[in-house]
Amino acid sequence: MNKLKALAVLLLISTMAYAGGYRVSTQSNRQLAMGHTGVAVVNNADILFFNPAGIVHLENKLNFSAGGFGVFSDVSYQNAEFGTTAETDSPVGTPFYAYGSYKINEKLAVGLGIYTPFGSTVSWEPNWAGSHLVNEIELSAIFIQPTVAYQLFDSVSIGAGPIIAIGGVSFNRNAGRSLTNENGERSNVAIEDTGVLGYGWTAGLMFTPNDRFTLGFNYRSLINIDSTDGTASFTNFPVSSLTPANGETGFEATLPLPAELTVGVSYKWDKLLLAFDYNRAMWSEYESLDLVFDNGTTSINPRNYKDASTWRLGAQYEANDKLTIRAGWYFDESPVQSGYFAPETPRNDSQGYTFGLSYQVNSKLAIDASFLYLRFKEVNESYDFFTDPGASTASSFGGTYKSQALIPGIGVTYSM
């Protein structure tokens, strides 16, 4: 029983980790349109996420920005050796953001951000070949970030703030490749937890030696997500001393969301602004997963993730007093090493192509729109650590995965 419970919880937590590695950057319509650059770009209150030191550079006293996105994604799976195929039929994801800042004086500003940097919704075909790994997964995480920024010198500003992370997950899979109850119904494990809390912080620095050039640094700390009140439900298991009883049990687990460091520059020529960001996510912090069950037993599971980089390029052009056009590109490196590729949220190295615009309705209000086409590299990979109930050795599940996502977004900015 403990082995099957361990596998169930392990799949839940690894899914959350994949959502971190799979994370699509949707923290601002304006900055997404510029390849999600932003650590050295002061556009509006959105800078609160990308570099908290930037809110003191906003010209207006009060700034507000809010928006949302629709994530239309699909994944296809094929194993030519066994002739099996499958596709996802996932509902539309809806990440959002809201930022506000207030300039107390020329040197001091405060702000608040609410955004969703982690989240995933994936639904595979019923009883597909990998249903022993996942059927459905829905993950959400909301971050709340109070922020303060100060103009330290004429050309140097600093900013920082705590982060409160609130998460939830719903997940289910079949237990084993062929395990059924006496009526032939597939045995199933479903896991659910809500209101999971984690805490961290962010800090930034911005260097502005002149009106054209900006250099930015931003660090976001490790956040441990502690699951203590979740439930695992076991259904359709045969009545046997070798399998768990049908019903619910509790568990505790801690998932590390990795620290991130971003460095970026921007340069402005008249109406044209160019930006470049480099981001490094310290996924190597996720070496193993430690699980503690209600009965007091523990399970140590190595994960062996690697640090991953993202390179981003963006451009912004002020066509006239009303219209601003943006475009960008980024390359996102996967943190998942060979042999750990699972279908919960399958992802590999990807490239994002972005475009967007802003229309200034009046002196205070603007409408922002963006579009992201995200293309993942086709990959032939496997997950090598699944153990069927009662088996003593792990088995491998693999194939060829193709993934892509279309992400339109719309938002508003307001300043006064």
In the prediction, which pLDDT does 39 show? Answer: 98
Q: How confident is the model at residue 297 (pLDDT cuts 50, 70, 90)?
A: very low
pLDDT digits (tens, 9 = 90+) for 103-132: 999 999 999 999 988 766 788 887 899 998
CA–CA separation, 381 and 399 (whole Å) = 6
Q: What is the pTM of this model?
A: 0.88
CA–CA separation, 291 and 311 (whole Å) = 35
Contact 292, 279 (CB under 8 A): no
Q: Is the pLDDT of residue 47 over 60?
A: yes
> Would you tell me how many other CB atoms lie within 10 Å of the CB of residue 239?
9
Q: Is the pLDDT of residue 175 over 70?
A: yes
Token couple for 153: 């010198």
Task: Identify the structural domains of the chain with CATH numbers, from first to last.
Answer: 2-415 (2.40.160.60)
In the prediction, which pLDDT does 10 show? Answer: 39
SS3 360: strand
In this prediction, residues 295-311 reach a mean pLDDT of: 70
Backbone dihedral angles phi then psi of residue 190, each to the nearest 5 degrees: -120, 135
Q: What spatial distance separates the first Cα and last Cα of the chain, rounded to whole Å?
A: 61
In the prediction, which pLDDT does 346 show? Answer: 67
Q: How confident is the model at residue 5 (pLDDT cuts 50, 70, 90)?
A: very low
Q: SS3 helix, strand, coil % of the chain, rounded to 5? A: 10, 60, 30
Contact 43, 415 (CB under 8 A): no
pLDDT digits (tens, 9 = 90+) for 70-98: 988 888 999 988 889 999 887 788 889 99
Q: Strand 272-281 relative to strand 288-293: parallel, antiparallel, unpaired?
A: unpaired
CA–CA separation, 78 and 398 (whole Å) = 9
In the prediction, which pLDDT does 290 show? Answer: 61
Q: How confident is the model at residue 289 (pLDDT cuts 50, 70, 90)?
A: low
In the prediction, which pLDDT does 19 show? Answer: 34
In the prediction, which pLDDT does 389 show? Answer: 66
Greater confidence (30 vs 284) lies with: 30
Q: How confident is the model at residue 293 (pLDDT cuts 50, 70, 90)?
A: low
CA–CA separation, 161 and 175 (whole Å) = 43
Please classify residue 36 by burial: count the beta carbons closer than 10 Å to its beta carbon, then call 0-12 exposed, 13-18 middle and 19+ buried: buried
